[in-house]
Amino acid sequence: MLLAGAEPILALAPMQDVTDLAFWRLLAPYGAPHLHFTEYFRVYATSRLDRHILKSVIEHAAAGPVVAQMIGNDIPSLIRTVRELQNHPVAGIDLNLGCPAPVVYRKCAGGGLLRDLKAVDAILGALREVVRVPFSVKTRIGFDSDATYPELLRIFAAHNLDLLTVHGRTVREMYHSEVHYERIAEAVQAVKCPVLANGNVHSAKRGLEVLKSTGAAGLMIGRGAIRNPWIFQQVHDLRTTGSIRVPTGFEVLDYVHRLYEALASPGLSCGSHVQRVKKHLNYLGVGVDPEGEFLNRMRRLVTEAELFALCREFLSHDQPMPLEPFPLGLKERDVMAGSHL
């Protein structure tokens, strides 16, 4: 098993171009999750293990369990990749059946495989034969609709998975709809393995509500952890003590400084570095002020000096900041519209 015990499993979701070794190390002092899932290894006929992702696995393994995630649809290539990954200190191997990015699903990978349940069945059967470590799947509840979800759950149950993560939306819903937590509860009843609930866990309170309503064995949290790196510790504390410690503005400002340092890389220009940091601050921004002024102004700035001047303006205070998302009036196509509610 990946984990055992009465305490809910808390996992950091795999997020492409986010959840690398630097981000894992950044989160650790705030309260690390129990499981780290890698960015996905792209698998195809001529693929090789991504060196950057593999470095995260190797260098973090001593600090805690790392689950290597794969994305692809070619069975021989997936089998080859499993065998290669098992030569490294992976705590488990996960198959991505949920990525909603069009560039992925148009290739019948990630969430695109949910349009072909026969292919899903064949892939899981082949991988179950060769995966020696715990084998898991991260899925959505369907592609266009959840009509085939019961059959999908039957397939998962037939292949003796060790862990299942369910994001309670279809691929087409992306991040813009309500999360269908009742569908996660169905998975808990349908499979024998532990189920992690995923989707819009934006606070410790929401996390405990989701655990109660779904009966899930744990939570997988992604965007909420970018905005609030304290969230894993807060979930634990709220469950065990009934209260949480809320960071002050100064502590959030310190987190931004640490984030800025963590995202630096050799050869990255200052301008490119700022743009990379701003992508992460999109998630923080929805929890700073109810008018969305921080978010709007942050998106227009271009220099390091401008970024930290803005952060000091909004965060240089000792008032508590829950970092829960405000219902901002964002345009429908805004990257943050609906993804944080």
Residues annotated catalytic, as ranges: 99
Q: Using only the alpha carbons of the chain, give its radius of gyration.
A: 20
Contact predicate 139/95, CB 8 Å: no
Which residues partner with 220 through β-bridges? 11, 198
